[in-house]
Structure 1
Amino acid sequence: MRDLRRRAAERLREAGVASPERDADLLLAHVLGIGLGRLPLVDGLDAAQREAYDALLARRADREPLQHLTGTAAFRHVELAVGPGVFVPRPETELLAGWAIDAARAVEGTPVVADLCTGSGAIARAVADEVPGAEVHAVELDEAALAWAERNLAGTGVDLRHGDLATAFDDLAGRFDVVVCNPPYIPLEAWESVAAEARDHDPHLALFSGQDGLDAMRVLERRAALLLRPGGVVGAEHADVQGESAPGVFRATGRWRDVADHLDLAGRPRYLTARLAR
């Protein structure tokens, strides 16, 4: 088993996978239906298990996202169903979700939260899970991603709608305490620099946003100003090179105060927050 795991990791390393040992072990545990901690107790694989493992390794070596192969992605305290057609939630986005959760908890009474560009439903699901009394609304434009969100948000009470960030929730304008969004933010010119897992498998609608990557951020600024009550807050993820330009979208309009940027666990600019002026 040690040799099998070593060879599998080397195969993924040669293919350019960023975390070859862990991915090889996660796929092996997935084939066996066990947790990672039990792998040292396994003596070997039968023929069917070896065939299944080899097939998954080949797909991962082709840079298909690990989460597409296992069918799940962990996000804070919940597990999401993911696969082709939906953006795989990243660990960095858990920080933005944590901010939204804290902001919702700080509201007196029932907090009203909007998750725009919900994708798999990750942030909406996390808010509903950790702030049980919250009124949570979510919107997604892409139909394939919407199907995954429907699956992940079923039974949570989240109001999930099919629609555009730019026109979402007209009927609830001025009611929201918290607006949170992980919009597309990659410049079109950065195509070649995007990891193969995202570029070749995540929906492009969830990745690219104009020449400077801020087209969706500008739409979000306008929409959040309409949806939030005075004093309500907005949070949005951005690329690590947009630590000045993304908050600048909000500062430039004069509609916001307390505009701030926040770092991820690696110390890189990751998301902005702002409060709608009264």
Structure 2
Amino acid sequence: MPNDEKASGLYVARVCVVAALGGLLFGYDTGVIAGAIGFLETHFNLDPSFQKGWVAASALIGCTIGVSVAGLLSDWLGRKRTLIVAAILFFISAVGTALPKNVTMFVIFRIIGGVGVGAASITSPMYIAEISPARIRGRMVSVNQFAIVTGFLVVYLVNYFIALQGTEAWNIGYGWRWMFGSEALPALLLLVLLFLVPESPRWLTKYGRHERALAVLTRVGGPAHAQREFESIKDAIAHESGSLGQLLKPGMRIVLVIGVVLAVLQQ
């Protein structure tokens, strides 16, 4: 592999790892409740027939909102700034769920975190796919999936470590707060690192920022790649069309059904 191609590949890998922190926070935020729910139940004296389930599942409301608006938001703000918004939501949720005055406030902050989960689940793989050269795109997108399951693993280990730091009474009073608050660290890391990565070249091209798009494409693949990819992106944008109704056409229905079923089974 030529030196310039190797260097650009390393740069793309670093950028994609930063974006994949959104996937890690997806797993972290989703999994943190598992180790804390028992202590929460006792601390807030939750009704196990309803309140416990509501507290555990409340983040899914935010996920639904985040997924619903992420596409529009990433087109309006850009992929990078949408991820910045998600990182801020993760941070707010981490602090808020660690220091709630009551269970209602806890649920509100969990929903806020869920919005971040939904936004990151859409925007992180989108950004990675748009900034990666075709030769390594599949590998780079898979980094996001790896980051999600890593987030689950990390938070389970963190929860376990925190639970070992005190007695049952300490965990009921304070341990669960540290579990949720621990998410603030990766959220802050993502927020800071996002200021060091470029915007998606596709988004830049779509909104007429051609010089910046070419600069990003040159950085990730060299001058020859940049010009080819730039022309390809412009051509794709020029021919963009479609509606939700097209998904119901005979050739697309089976693809839509398979995609939805796989997504449901994954959860």
Q: When the two structures are superposed, what TM-score results if normalisation uses the length of structure 2?
A: 0.21
More helix by share: 2
Tell me: higher relative CO, structure 1 or 2? Use CA pairs within 8 A at least 6 residues apart: 2
More strand by share: 1
Q: When the two structures are superposed, what TM-score results if normalisation uses the length of structure 1?
A: 0.21
